[in-house]
Structure 1
Amino acid sequence: MAQGDIETYYEDGHWKNKREGADRAFGAGYGTKEEAVAAGRDAAKADKVEHVIKNQDGRIGEKFSYGNDPRNVPG
């Protein structure tokens, strides 16, 4: 079963992580963005998927890929 990408986002006063396609966040709500990013990064690395980190306003701030990258991409 393929795993979905991991998204770190801000909601209801807490930073959270959610797997793509899931209705609910996994783990606990985090007090800081750094804590949530670290947990999301670990999950993305373990699952070899992309980690999308959103800013507090909901816009994508950063993206990191930990697997399934095409080898012959120019640039």
Structure 2
Amino acid sequence: MAAGDIETFHRNGIWFNRIEGESQTLGASFETEADAVKAARGAAMARQVAHTVRTEEGPSRDESAYERHPRDLIG
């Protein structure tokens, strides 16, 4: 991930979003992964950055939902 990209992650049963390189979370916490991902994808598209989903075990293996990078949509 590059600085400024957005990451969705899970900690102690709660989902969060943050901007890579910053210690603060981005917005509110979420009860479900789907809600966190929806908010993060919107923020990533608005900022034209990548979005990654991580679990407590590490990076998500399911990248199919995220295969189109927001930067690729502009042109």
TM-score (normalizing by structure 1): 0.76
Partner of residue 53, structure 2? 53
Runs of 4+ aligned structure 1 residues displaced above 6 Å come to none
Superposition deviation, residue 56 in structure 1:
4.3
Name the larger-Rg structure. Answer: 1
SS of residue in 1 equivalent to 2:10 = strand
Superposition deviation, residue 59 in structure 1:
2.2
State the alpha-carbon separation in 2 of the partners of residues 59 and 46 from structure 1: 23
Superposition deviation, residue 57 in structure 1:
2.2
Partner of residue 70, structure 2? 66
State the alpha-carbon separation in 2 of the partners of residues 48 and 68 from structure 1: 9
Show CA shifts across 1:21-66 (max 9, x none): 0101111110000000000000000000000112342223335421
Contact 1:9 1:58 in 2 (8 A): no
Structure 2 unaligned runs (5+)?
A: none
SS of residue in 1 equivalent to 2:4 = coil
Number of paired residues?
68
State the alpha-carbon separation in 2 of the partners of residues 14 and 58 from structure 1: 15
Partner of residue 17, structure 2? 17
Give the stretch that moved more between structures: 31-40 or 57-66: 57-66
When you count helix as a share of all residues, which structure comes out higher?
A: 2
